[in-house]
Structure 1
Amino acid sequence: MKRHLEMIMLNIGTIASVLAVSGCIETTPEVAISEPDPELIFVRGYRSAADDCRLVGESAFTLDFLDDAADLVACSTGSTDMDELMAQTGVPILTQTNSYTFFSVPRR
């Protein structure tokens, strides 16, 4: 009986450890998208003129993503500027194409 109880406790400890570690693993979004790049209207750099992330205007592709309370921003997928935008704003990825990752950044 004592050995049986020890085995149960060991299994509970193992499961608890696995759950704790799996909660620490960050999942990254898939970046291999086969969606072709649409015609986009870039207005300007989002945070500065040299910013790789660009404010995007209305087009047939962006129509469903535009929101009057947020800016639609497209960054080159995998760019440093994209990583910085995600870290600064905490916004999730809205959609992706072959070259661009899109975000809806709420206006403050």
Structure 2
Amino acid sequence: MFRAIIPTLLLIAACTPVPGTAPSSLPFFGNGYRFDGDACRRLGEDAYTNQFLDDAADLVGCPEDLENLGVFVIDTDAQEVARRDGYILYSVPLR
């Protein structure tokens, strides 16, 4: 009996999303913010994000568990504006 359950449990565990990589309802675009492959990405406009958009800043979403998040905030002068779907949303002033 237990032998039949173990493969099922392994299959379920394999489908569990890894934190920071789960699908999001946020309108991300691009391949990374600042450089291709960066974990942070720009956000477009939708019913939720339009309240944070500004002509003088980029709206950027970064995974909450990003290891170098403090460096990103200091380097870009980012200001946290919201949290959603495992991401921190930042307003990053354009220079």
Off by >4 Å, runs of 4+ in structure 1: none
CA distance in 2: counterparts of 1:103 and 1:65, whole angstroms? 9
Report the count of equivalent residues: 72
Structure 2 regions of 5+ residues with no counterpart? 1-22
- Unmatched segments (≥5 aa) in structure 1: 1-36
Give yes or no for the alignment of 1:58 onto 2:42: no
Q: Is the 8 A contact 2:77 2:92 kept in 1?
A: no
Which has the larger share of strand? 2
Letter aligned with residue 103 of structure 1: Y
Q: Kindly tell me: are residues 72 and 46 of structure 1, through their superposed partners in 2, closer, same or farther at Cα, counting changes over 3 Å? A: same
Please identify the structure whose Cα radius of gyration is greater.
Answer: 1
RMSD over aligned Cα, in angstroms? Answer: 1.8
Q: Provide closer, same or farther for how the CA distance between residues 59 and 38 of structure 1 changes in structure 2, counting only shifts above 3 A.
A: farther
Match of 2:25 among 30, 39, 51: 39
The correspondence for 1:94, drawn from 41, 60, 81, is 81
**Closer, same or farther in 2 for the Cα pair 1:48/1:81, shift >3 Å?**
farther
Q: Within 2, Cα distance between the matches of 1:38 and 1:78? A: 15
- How do 1:66-77 and structure 2 match up within 5 A? 66-77=53-64
Q: Give the structure-1-normalised TM-score.
A: 0.59
